[in-house]
Amino acid sequence: MAKRIANQWTTWNLVNIKARQEQTTSHYVEAFRRLYAEDPLIKFPRGGKSGSLKSVQLSELLEEDGNPCWIHIGLLSYTVIDPEAFYNKRSQEDVKMENWDENIVANKKEADLYFIPSIHTLAVKSSAEIGLKNVVYYLAEALNRIEPEIFDVDVIVEKDVLNKILTAHLITHLYANISYSNPGHTHGFEAAFDSKLRGMGGGRFEFTATGSKEHPLNNEEDGMLPAIVNLSEQNGYVRATIQSTANSKLEKIDSSEHPRRLVLPRIVDDICSTLYNAIKGIIH
């Protein structure tokens, strides 16, 4: 059968959803099944809106282990109405709505999320009605509502911005908020450091190192600083103060402001399979 190809450019952000225990494909699938069944209401930290699920659809196409290749998630954002907080601005009187249906909400927005359980990576369109920060906040809060202190949800950041830190002339400050990676994703000292983090038994780890232009941080190859920065690509974020060249000024970099962008120049057959093939090709 001939493939259907639509020349339609789309840009996507990628999110790493990692279980701290039982890092298996079936665990991720079951987590989203439970999430849809329990559907916790999550209030976003800003804007007065809340989030919940509209739908969760598992692909009919299966991996070799029998699990779905992808999960299509419909996320909602809306304002929960307080029936006792209405106001008539003409009469300047408070109004109480009798027999208000609590299922009616306002200012609805939607976003389509596509999750690949086998590599625990989720894609959301960069132009989605629900912003990336709220998507990540919802997923982190909701997943840990059904399985407390089990899931880390982190935006995958641009490798180029991390390389800019690592190749800088000098680094005077580094702050990191990270978790450990999945087994087998690191090498050398980075693997040893990652293993030590996992062995500590914690969830998130914060590191702060401060130097100066006269005494910059040690950025030796395969050392502590590169290990922290490289782990943050998919497992957190870093903030650094660097001097790119010997003659440049100090500048501050926040990797969380540089989410990785996946650009799809075309859609082959459907968006689910196109994203699946594209993401499987770059995330291992």
Look at residue 181 in the predicted model and tell me its pLDDT: 72
- Measured CA to CA, the distance from residue 61 to residue 23 in angstroms comes to 21
pLDDT > 90 in the chain, percent: 67
What does pTM read for this prediction?
A: 0.88
> Are β-strands 93-95 and 105-116 bridged in parallel, bridged antiparallel, or unpaired?
unpaired
- For residue 21, pLDDT beyond 90: no
Mean pLDDT, the chain, rounded, equals: 90
The residue-averaged pLDDT of 150-179 equals 95
Q: Is the pLDDT of residue 88 over 90?
A: no
Q: What is the amino acid identity at position 8?
A: Q
CA-wise closest residue to 198 among 18, 26, 29: 18
Q: Is the pLDDT of residue 261 over 80?
A: yes
Residue by residue, DSSP assigns 211-272 as: --SSS-----TTSHHHHHHHHHHHHEEEEEEEESSTTSPEEEEEGGGSB-EEEES-EES-HH
pLDDT tens sequence across 198-224: 667 667 889 999 999 999 998 787 688
pLDDT, residue 284, reads 63
Beta strand extents in the chain (DSSP E only): 5-6, 10-19, 42-43, 50-58, 71-80, 86-88, 93-95, 105-116, 121-125, 151-155, 170-178, 205-210, 236-243, 250-254, 261-264, 267-268
Q: What is the pLDDT of residues 36-79, one digit of tens each?
A: 999 999 999 988 899 999 999 999 999 999 999 999 999 999 99
Report the length, in residues, of the chain. 284
At 202 the pLDDT is: 65
Q: Which residue has the higher pLDDT, 167 or 283?
A: 167
Residue 10 identity (one-letter amino acid): T
More confident of the two residues 269 and 114: 114
Q: How far apart are CA 171 and CA 240, in angstroms?
A: 7
